[in-house]
Structure 1
């Protein structure tokens, strides 16, 4: 089968297609014919931290048809349309652990299905499981035009919350307003506290999602209401540290938490997947949530897809494969 390996050469990510054996599923795995796969910024950031010219397998989420099911993979069987987190997704075939697999809702295209798993698991974790976002509460999203940012906006509106989003692009903010953004702030700098407080009547936001990184961490803390929560889910700015106001943390009873599945075992990942199936996929199935796709590229154009993501021009998810 064909698979794609990435190398960092002269500070540019190069893709090398290669022929490799088709993997064999274990007893709790599904062999899936990949129809489309989502591209995620985190894997590109990780690649750029590696030694130059070291070959790397990319792709951490995919959608396709089950070709072969292991002995212990109920309720999935050959022919089922599935999506989920996996490894080496930019290939003809990929293995999905059964606890990471989800049935594709009726009506979703392959591209929409491939755009769903990672974003859905992240927003379920940070808005519902940990963030406890409720109807009529305020959410702040920094870097709101990213794939996770758009998914957070959409889920928050489905939950009945109000949303403030930041972006450096007026065009992206206008597009996000059409998706339900209540207040758009054009900035990439830590200068949005006053505007957030004005929008929320001086209260502050109940939950903040920091996708931008350490450069705006302290500003996000300043924007939190009493008993507010702050989710750290990314660092697009590359800044891994931020000042923490301990007096504010103490007096306003704030909660600060991280959103990552890196330390999760199979049972913890299964619980997140089940939460997505219970709380988010029904919203997708009935049309209240629709995966926002920036652009779909063919597998042969994977380098162009990566260039699109690193240009920071995207609005929503970038997908590789069938539309």
Structure 2
């Protein structure tokens, strides 16, 4: 079946509130030589999409202005240099943009087979968080079996993924979350201790639980006043990995304890990294994590699915912080 000339997509009509997300008609993109054209069945919603909509996170140069960093669907066309993929293959993919649409393109190296036994909608919310967690917790953070790990925002898409992967690879897991329901969700996913940040001091909790030592790795997406507290909560030779700054990226930090404890302070963003870097992460995921997904030892946590035309409602839910796990858009029934 020939691809259509145009498609429905969600565009950001102007920077602003969720209501600026509107359906529109756009040309169906053509894949480059190393790309795959995907007939999208579902797309994931992520915090960077919200920031882009607000005008606070421009897509990388040359990237479509259509938001959306992850999808699942079927291969509709392959570029001239692509091998290993056939039209009709089920696929999930990490994107730099364009997921809120009926069709999108992705570099072949950022495409992965849908894990065995997983549906399209579940698969659509896997790439962004699993690429991010693997890259930051296991590559940059070097988390090892038997070590202790703290993730902030335990019920976010990143948090629910990090809890499960850290536990699956043998770490002792701590997670912060807001309120009893969210803390309970963290422990159900495998956290050894969930910390209600409304009621408890995470530094005190992790120090008491580790005999005063602290944790070996922290994955932080909060920033702001959490940064000096994270330094306090880290064990000697600990690693701190920043991936976002919900409370701001500029804060005074006393580096004397960083030196005394020989800490590593690092961080990364995923979207702007070269496609070759992302392809390496994809290979690691395929070898180390995809078997866990097929066995359901780890799983994406899907909170709610909205029709594509209701992308604004999906963004409103994300901004409310009332969800646990991921939010998705259904593009095709």
TM over 0.5: yes
Cα displacement (A) at 1:190: 9.5
**Structure 1: unaligned runs, 5 residues or longer:** none
Query: In the alignment, is residue 84 of structure 1 matched against residue 90 of structure 2?
Result: no
Bigger Cα displacement from structure 2, 254-263 vs 178-187:
254-263
Relative distance call for 1:11 and 1:81 in structure 2 (3 A) is: closer
1:58 aligns with 2:67: yes
In 1: Cα distance, 2:231 partner to 2:258 partner: 8
Structure 1 residues 11-20 or 70-79, which shifts more?
11-20
| Paired position in structure 2 for 1:41 | 47
| 1:121 is the counterpart of 2:131 | yes
Shift in Å at residue 261 of structure 1? 2.1
Select 1:211's aligned residue among 209, 215, 221. Answer: 221
Aligned partners of 1:149 and 1:211 also within 8 Å: no
Q: Secondary structure at the match of 2:20?
A: strand
What do the CA deviations read for 1:199-243 (whole angstroms, capped 9, x no partner)?
112110000011122221111111000100001011223x11133
Q: Using the alignment, how far apart are the partners of 1:265 and 1:130 within structure 2?
A: 16
1:249 is matched with which residue?
258
Cα drift, residue 296 of structure 1: 1.2
Q: Which residue pairs with 2:8 in the alignment? A: 2
- TM-score (ref. length: structure 2): 0.91
Please report how far the alpha carbon of residue 7 of structure 1 lies from its aligned counterpart in structure 2 after TM superposition.
3.4
- Residue matched to 2:3: none
Shift of 1:14: 2.2
Query: For 2:70 and 2:271, how far apart are their aligned partners in 1?
Result: 14
Match of 1:173 in 2: 183
Structure 2 CA distance for aligned equivalents of residues 186 and 292 of structure 1: 20
Asked if 1:72 corresponds to 2:78, the answer is no
The separation in 2 between residues aligned to 1:43 and 1:319, in whole angstroms, is: 12
The alpha carbon displacement at 1:192 in A equals: 2.1
Secondary structure of 2:43's counterpart equals: strand
> Residue 100 and residue 193 in structure 1: after superposition, are their counterparts in 2 closer, same or farther (change >3 A)?
same
The 8 Å contact of residues 140 and 164 in structure 1, kept in 2 or not, is answered as yes
Residues 145-177 of structure 1, C-alpha deviations (whole Å, 9 max, x = no match): 110011000101101111111112221111111
1:147 corresponds to which residue?
157
- Note if 1:104 corresponds to 2:111: no
**TM-score when scaled to structure 1?**
0.93
Distance 2:199 2:51 in 1: 21
Tell whether the 8 Å contact from 2:10 to 2:309 is kept in structure 1 after alignment. Answer: no
**CA positional deviation for 1:263:** 4.1
SS in 2 for 1:57: coil
Deviation for aligned residue 1:13? 3.8
- The CA deviation string for residues 27-56 of structure 1, in whole angstroms up to 9 with x for no partner, is 1111111000000011212332359xxx95
Cα distance, 1:315–1:259 mapped onto 2, change above 3 Å: same
Find out whether 1:236 has 2:246 as its counterpart. Answer: yes
CA offset digits 1:54-84 (Å, max 9, x no partner): x952111111000111111111110111111
Which runs of 5 or more structure 2 residues have no equivalent in the other structure? 1-6, 58-63
CA distance in structure 1 between the partners assigned to 2:150 and 2:287 by the alignment: 25
| Count of residue pairs brought into register by the alignment | 319
TM-superposed deviation, 1:135: 1.5
Distance in 2 of aligned mates of 1:11 and 1:296: 20
- The CA distance in 1 between the partners of 2:287 and 2:85, in whole Å, is 17
CA contact (8 A) 1:30 1:96 kept: yes
Distance 1:77 1:263, change over 3 A: same
Distance 1:182 1:229, change over 3 A: same
1:79-105 Cα distance to aligned partner (Å, 9 max, x none) = 111111122111111111111111111
Query: How large is the RMSD of aligned CA atoms in angstroms?
Result: 1.9
